[in-house]
Amino acid sequence: MSTSAKLRVLIAEDEVLVSMFLSDLVEDAGFEVVGVARTASEAVEMAQQHRPDIALMDANLKGGSTGVSAAETLVRGQDISIIFISGDSGLVHDPAVAALKPVAVVEKPCMPDELTAVLHRAARLRNAA
């Protein structure tokens, strides 16, 4: 069993097919998916309930607040590693994103191997801390 098998991942993604893909990818990489949130408020609520180690956050969630604002709430209240995934190529230069010190900002569409590598990097960083 790898060290990542013990780590719990919250997925915040409002597109159903993308969230299904991400869930499968996270589980195939040896992580546990604790929930899939469709909105920023759902992501915050699920994080408080399930206490994930890693949050895989779409930066542009529907329903009001963004994934970035949800991530700001998550890092204030818990020790969660953030990985942003977004179709917004400028996200990596956003000062609000940089302030959160995410493990990575992955641009959609991304290759499964790229995202798996980022998840394992997050696991190594958490285990080294």
Cα of 54 vs its chain's centroid, Å: 6
Is residue 129 domain-resident?
no
Which class for 103: exposed (0-12), middle (13-18), buried (19 or more C-beta within 10 A)?
A: buried
Per the domain annotation, does 127 fall within a domain?
Answer: no
Name the pTM for this structure.
0.91
Q: Is 82 inside a domain boundary?
A: yes
CATH number of 7's domain: 3.40.50.2300
The predicted-structure confidence for 26-70, as pLDDT tens digits, reads as follows: 999 999 999 999 999 999 999 999 999 999 999 888 776 788 999
Q: Give, as one character, the DSSP assignment of residue 14.
A: S
Q: What domain count does the chain have?
A: 1
Domain containing 64 equals: 3-122
**Of residues 79 and 77, more confidently modeled:** 79
Inter-CA distances, 109 with 13, 74, 79, 96, Å: 13, 25, 28, 22
128 in a structural domain: no
How long, in residues, is the chain?
129
35 and 50 in contact (C-beta within 8 Å)?
A: yes
